[in-house]
Amino acid sequence: MLELLAKRPGGRPAGVDLSPHSLARARRRPALSRATLAAGRAQELPFADDSFDACVSHLALMLMSEIEQVAAEVARVLSPGGVLACAVGGGAVGGEAYERFLTLLRRTVEQAPASQRIPAMGDRRTRARDGLDAVLGPAGFAAVDWETVPIDLSGPVEPVWAAVSGLYDLGPLDRPTVERLREAFLAEAADLTTPDGRVPCGFRIHLATTHLR
């Protein structure tokens, strides 16, 4: 995503991540040779006041704690009139493979040892328009523009499994547990598979855009 933003002429792209590994990989990308790539948290951004005219958060804001502090920090580093654009998860499309996968995943995680469970993350207000307005308004942002976009991951069952199994929640699970989850998902997907071999799989994201007043 930062590569796409870096293509804008005259811009000064910057990225922040908690992971040194992710930052190291980003620094190897030629297209990001002029980008500032910094280790840090959104609750304490490593940039000066009024540094940017836009900030983009892709499926990250909804996982953050201390969300009011995040909003204040983004407002601090944006110039007046600066844009904040966020993509947040909007849930599964009813009756399709992603919804069935989430049901299986919840059951699997509930049965797993505590050491294999990711704690609940984020503030649920960030997943709804009114909630985001409540968080961002006191930091100086205008009411958000809100658009819901469907994402279609339908296809053969193995690529669909590869897509849905990339969620954070699977990270701590041991290999036998993930394999049992995979087998259960394949059985569920068999009931959904169309005559041409496609498994219907979709979810939604919400695109929220606002500006600093």
Q: What is the pLDDT of residue 158?
A: 96
Residue 161 has pLDDT above 80, yes or no: yes
Residue environment code for 133-150, b if the CB has 16+ CB neighbours within 10 A, otherwise e: bebbeebbbeebebeeee
pTM attached to this predicted model: 0.89
Is pLDDT of 168 > 80?
Answer: no
Question: In degrees rounded to 5, what are phi and psi of residue 43?
Answer: -75, -10
Give the full edge-to-edge strand order of the sheet including 202-211.
52-58, 78-92, 202-211, 145-152
pLDDT computed for residue 10 by the predictor? 81
**What are 37-62's pLDDT values in tens digits?**
999 999 999 999 999 999 999 999 99
Dihedral sign, CA of 145, 146, 152, 157? positive
DSSP 41: B
Rounded Cα gap, residues 203 and 101, in angstroms: 12
pLDDT digits (tens, 9 = 90+) for 58-110: 999 999 999 999 999 999 999 999 999 999 999 898 889 999 999 999 999 99
Q: What is the residue whose two structure tokens read 């849930």?
A: 91
CATH of 41-211, one of 3.10.129.10, 3.30.565.10, 1.20.120.160, 3.40.50.150: 3.40.50.150
Q: Give 144-163 as a DSSP string.
A: PEEEEEEEE--BSHHHHHHH
Please tell me whether residue 109 adopts helix, strand or coil conformation: helix
Give the DSSP H/E element, type plus range, for residue 55.
Answer: strand 52-58
Report the C-alpha gap between 118 and 102 in whole angstroms.
15
Residue 195 in tokens: 């005559």
Q: Identify whether the C-beta of residue 202 lies closer than 8 Å to the C-beta of residue 94.
A: no
Helix crossing, 175-192 with 157-164: angle to 10°? 130
Domain assignments of the chain as residue spans, ordered by start = 41-211
Give the Cα separation of 83 and 6 in Å (integer): 16
